[in-house]
A and B are shown apart, each in its own frame.
Chain A
Amino acid sequence: MDYTWDFKVVADNFPVLLRGVGLTVELWAVALVLGVSLGFLISLGPTSGRRWLQLPAIGYVEVFRNTPVLVQLIWFYYAFPILIGFQLSPVAAAILGLTLNTSAYCAEIFRAGIESIARGQWEAAKALGMTRAMSLRRVILPQVGKRMLPAFTNRAIELAKVTSLASVLAVHEIMYQGRLLSSTYYRPLEILTVVALVYFVVIWPGSWLSARLERRLAARD
């Protein structure tokens, strides 16, 4: 235990780590926006009442939720290009994998939210002459929006952590930079500890806000 800590190597390479954080945030933002949007589209399947739309959507969600996300990323980087005939860059494969994975979880959130609204609301909207799309947009979604918010903030936090797996595809985000630096300078203790702290500092405020929001919404009901 008489190890002498030396944070000089971290201080010298701080710009490298910061660039990694930048890419981590980019991955997170892009995959979140795309994943939520795609998740909404997919959730229209199970809630449509049509079997030929229901089954593929449920299958999609189950496949992504019952396999490890690391396997999904590796599949999209190493296997998928064979299917489509051209190589994907590590960033593209990571964004594709993260987006599809997030979309599966978001589809479940939308489905649960939409199904939590009583049937009578749909029927009343129909009685007023609204189409299905219109009732969804003007009657159902405004009511579930708030109810789904905590689930989405939790998903966003999960996604922030999952972006670290892109390092396995050699995407130069913070975890990759940390691995690279620690093998270059033989200072894994300092560097990996700092990487962990950086993640904590970035993610913890989000968790804190999300928990506060959840409590406030629960208190209002």
Chain B
Amino acid sequence: MRYQWDFSAVAGHLDLLLIGLLGTVRIALISIVLGVIVGAVLATMRLSGRRSLRFPATAFIEFYRNTPPIVHFFWFFYALPIVIGLNLDPYAAAVLALSTQSGAFYAEVFRGGILSIERGQWEGAQALGMTRRAALRRVIVPQALRRMIAPFIERSFELTKTTALASTLAYAELLYQAQQVNSITFRPMEVYTTIAVMYFLLLFSASMLARLGERRLARIG
């Protein structure tokens, strides 16, 4: 049990790990942006009165919410190229998997926020002579946005943790880089503990920032 910790192996390859951390942040940010767009489209479809729009959106959302993300990663990397006849690099496949998957979850965040606004607000807007669209834009959405913030942040954290799966496609994010450093140094204990700490610091400091921002918004609102 007297294990000699030796972090010099990690310290010598810290540059590789930092590149990985950057890769993680990069893929998380772009997937959040694309996921929000996918989510907004899906939520609009699902809230619309037309069955032909509602049904596909619901099916998409339910499918993604009930299958594991790793299946999506592999499907986009190995199966989709056969359908479209075009090879995807690991980065593109991972971004596609992450943004469609998180889009399904964001859609539920948006829809939940809008449905949480009382009927009276719609009726009040209508009484003022607003169309459905104007009421949505000027009355409902501004109120719903505030309620969406907390679940939106939570989903974004889940997404950031899910980026680790991109390592299985050999995209150079933090976990993949750690596997590379491990195969050079044979120091799994130090390497994997170090990246666990790096993930922790990234997510924990981001959650502190998010909490601060949330509090400030609550004060303005």
* Shortest distance between the CB of A71 and any CB in chain B (Å): 6
Interfacial residues of chain A within 173-212, with CB under 8 A of chain B in the complex: 175, 178-179, 182, 188-189, 192-193, 195-196, 199-200, 203-204, 207
Interfacial residues of chain B within 59-92, with CB under 8 A of chain A in the complex: 62-63, 65-72, 74-75, 78-79, 82-85
B62 lies within 8 A of A204 (CB): yes
Interface centre among B63, B66, B182, B189 (most CB of A within 10 A): B66
Bound Cα distance from A182 to B78, whole angstroms = 9
Bound Cα distance from A164 to B66, whole angstroms = 12
- In the assembled complex, B204 has its CB within 8 A of some CB on chain A: yes
- In the assembled complex, B195 has its CB within 8 A of some CB on chain A: yes
A189 lies within 8 A of B83 (CB): yes
The residue of chain B having its C-beta at the shortest distance from the C-beta of A207 within the complex is B66
- In the assembled complex, B126 has its CB within 8 A of some CB on chain A: no
A175 lies within 8 A of B83 (CB): no
Residues of B within 8 A of A72 (CB): 196
* Shortest distance between the CB of A5 and any CB in chain B (Å): 10
Interfacial residues of chain A within 132-188, with CB under 8 A of chain B in the complex: 157, 161-165, 167-168, 175, 178-179, 182, 188
The residue of chain A having its C-beta at the shortest distance from the C-beta of B75 within the complex is A192
A82 lies within 8 A of B189 (CB): yes
- In the assembled complex, A83 has its CB within 8 A of some CB on chain B: yes
Bound Cα distance from A208 to B74, whole angstroms = 26
Bound Cα distance from A189 to B162, whole angstroms = 23
B68 lies within 8 A of A199 (CB): yes
* Shortest distance between the CB of A65 and any CB in chain B (Å): 8
Consensus secondary structure, chain B interface: helix
Residues of B within 8 A of A75 (CB): 192-193, 196
B83 lies within 8 A of A66 (CB): no
Residues of B within 8 A of A1 (CB): 83-85
* Shortest distance between the CB of A40 and any CB in chain B (Å): 23
Residues of A within 8 A of B203 (CB): 66-67
B66 lies within 8 A of A66 (CB): no
* Residue from B65, B69, B204 in contact with A207 in the complex, judged by beta carbons closer than 8 Å: B65
- In the assembled complex, B180 has its CB within 8 A of some CB on chain A: no
For chain A, the count of residues having a C-beta within 8 Å of the partner chain is: 42
A82 lies within 8 A of B3 (CB): yes
**A-binding segment of B47-55, B114-122, B138-146, B164-172:** B164-172
* Residue from A66, A70, A163, A203 in contact with B175 in the complex, judged by beta carbons closer than 8 Å: A70
A74 lies within 8 A of B175 (CB): yes
Query: Chain A 2-16, CB within 8 Å of chain B: the 1/0 string?
Result: 010000000000000
B192 lies within 8 A of A67 (CB): no
B68 lies within 8 A of A188 (CB): no
A71 lies within 8 A of B83 (CB): no
The residue of chain B having its C-beta at the shortest distance from the C-beta of A84 within the complex is B1
- In the assembled complex, A123 has its CB within 8 A of some CB on chain B: no
B67 lies within 8 A of A200 (CB): yes
The residue of chain A having its C-beta at the shortest distance from the C-beta of B63 within the complex is A200
B188 lies within 8 A of A82 (CB): yes
Bound Cα distance from A178 to B74, whole angstroms = 10
Bound Cα distance from A199 to B71, whole angstroms = 9
A68 lies within 8 A of B199 (CB): yes
* Residue from B63, B68, B200 in contact with A67 in the complex, judged by beta carbons closer than 8 Å: B200
Given contacts A71-B195, A78-B182, contact A192 B161 (CB under 8 A): no
* Shortest distance between the CB of A78 and any CB in chain B (Å): 4
Given contacts A72-B196, A189-B82, 16 further A-B contacts (CB under 8 A): A1-B85, A3-B83, A66-B203, A68-B164, A74-B175, A78-B192, A161-B69, A163-B68, A164-B70, A165-B68, A165-B70, A182-B78, A188-B82, A196-B72, A200-B63, A204-B62
Q: Can you name 11 A-B residue pairings with CB atoms under 8 Å?
A: A66-B200, A67-B196, A70-B164, A75-B193, A78-B188, A164-B71, A167-B70, A192-B78, A196-B75, A199-B66, A204-B62
